[in-house]
Structure formats: C-alpha cells, structure tokens
Amino acid sequence: MENITIVINDAPYGTEKAWNALRLAKTLVVIKQKVQVFLLGDAVALVKKGQKTPTGYYNLAQMVTDLIASGVEVRVCVTCIDSRGLRVEELVDGVVVGKMLDLAHWVKEGSKVLTF
C-alpha cells in the first residue's frame, strides 16, 4: 500500500484547515490507509505542548498525539520551528523533526500528496 502524505501549512486555530487535515488523517487510518503528516510554516504550532485550546475548537495537539499513537508518522519542519523560536523539548511526544529533504522523499515515494 502506498502512502498518502498530508502537508499542513496553516496555523492551528483561526480556520478549520488544520482540523480538517487531521480529521482526514484519522479517517484514512480507520480505513487502513497508510498516511504521514508533515507540518510546515505556522502549522508547527499544532504540536506545541501545553496549548490552551480556544473556546469552540478541538485540541489539535491531542489529535496529533492520537494519530502518532495509531502509527502515523508526523514530522515538523526544523527550519519552521527554529524561525518561530520553538525547541524540540516543547513539542508533543512522538513528533519527528524533519527537513525539506524528508518531505521530498515522501512526495517522491507516496501515491498522493494533499495540502491544507
């Protein structure tokens, strides 16, 4: 089975893009599809520990944690976390710090790439 790569660029809160991307990833897992998630730009804030979820929103960090527990590989762009002053220790457990080269391999080797 080939991989589906989901790339999330949008900030975690303010729109529903990141939430919908994570919902899709969860649904793909349910139907036994291999999926991997790469976080770029403002989406890296999705995986910051200790978030105070805004009223009316889902806890996206918990959704990512649940995906990781179900076997989904989640990578976060190292350049993006550095430019936002985030340290690896501040990220939820199980997230892998990756590079653009990692995403390039996922794109090359996967069957589909979806961006949010």
Per-residue pLDDT, 52:
87
Per-residue pLDDT, 56:
82
Contact 106, 4 (CB under 8 A): no
In degrees rounded to 5, what are phi and psi of residue 97? Answer: -80, 125
Whole-prediction pTM: 0.94
Q: Tell me if the domain spanning 4-115 has CATH number 3.40.50.720.
A: no
Instruction: List the domain boundaries for the chain.
Output: 4-115
Positions in the chain whose pLDDT score sits under 70 = none
Contact 8, 21 (CB under 8 A): yes
Per-residue pLDDT, 14:
87
